[in-house]
Amino acid sequence: MSLRVALSPAGLDPGTLDRQAVLMIDVFRASTTIVTALANGARAVIPVADKGEAGRLAATLDRDMSVMAGERGGQQLAGFALGNSPRSFTPEVVRGRTVVLTTTNGTAALVKARGAERLAVGALANATAATAFLAQALDDGLDVTLLCAGWEGHVALEDTLCAGLFVDRLASHPRATPTDDGARIASSLYRGAQADLARVLFVADHSKRLIEVGAGDDLSDCARIDVSDVLPVLRDSRIVAA
């Protein structure tokens, strides 16, 4: 049994997914967006890797019962009803509907990990629920990987910090060791930052990018810890509340 942190999707070992519970982490913003959408009553979120696939999927769904959300480089894609800002996934917009979501990093990471034995979505927003998912997987004898979405193949400070928070919360779990270097790095980063987590989050590259594209308000939403007990899990290619 192992507890590993892949600091970007490049670090995920696809050959071992059938023995793995994977928690995908994309704090800014896909993970937080998915938690928010399900908390606000969306029936499901379907993650798709590219725009074309989103369009083909939309054609098969009831228009009134679905919402298209697309983002690249931080900005809403043309022709999509929503972008990737958690605050636009309000109950009025998503309740009872299926959200088709394609984002720069988070949905690509989900698609890469979809062969996992169990796959869930973690953020600061649902930290306790996500930690419980991880603890249960360890209890059940599965290997666990925290999969940081990062930014276009690069590590992202906010995802690494969030992974470190999960490693820290699992520290007393008897099956949470040994961890790998990714887990050691994430855990060390979190321990150094926890006294002033928001400040550290807001110096991240991704924070600057979001501020530049006018999405700075999302940062404080995404930095809030434990505001939801929703655990998004993948079931039959759809992400639903567990």
* CB contact set of 122 (below 8 Å; sequence gap of 6+): 23, 24, 25, 31, 130, 133, 146, 162, 166
Distance in angstroms (rounded) separating the CA atoms of residues 20 and 135: 13
Closer CB to a copy of itself, 79 or 153, in the complex: 153
Considering only 8-16, 30-38, 41-49, 53-61, which stretch makes contact with a copy of itself by CB under 8 A? 8-16
- Under the criterion CB under 8 A, does residue 29 sit at the interface with a copy of itself? no
Which member of 57, 180, 224, 227 binds a copy of itself (CB under 8 A)? 180
Dihedral angle sign, alpha carbons of residues 6, 8, 11, 14: positive
Helical spans, DSSP H, in the chain: 30-39, 51-58, 91-94, 106-112, 127-139, 157-169, 181-193, 197-201, 205-212, 217-222
Residue 160 CB, nearest distance to a copy of itself (Å)? 6
Residue 105 CB, nearest distance to a copy of itself (Å)? 13
Which member of 137, 138, 206, 241 binds a copy of itself (CB under 8 A)? 206
Number of residues binding to a copy of itself, judged by CB under 8 A: 26
**Which residues 94-153 are close enough to bind a copy of itself by CB under 8 A?**
151, 153
Closer CB to a copy of itself, 8 or 107, in the complex: 8
For binding to a copy of itself (CB under 8 A), which residues are involved? Answer: 6-8, 10-11, 151, 153-157, 160, 180-182, 184-185, 188-189, 191-193, 203-206
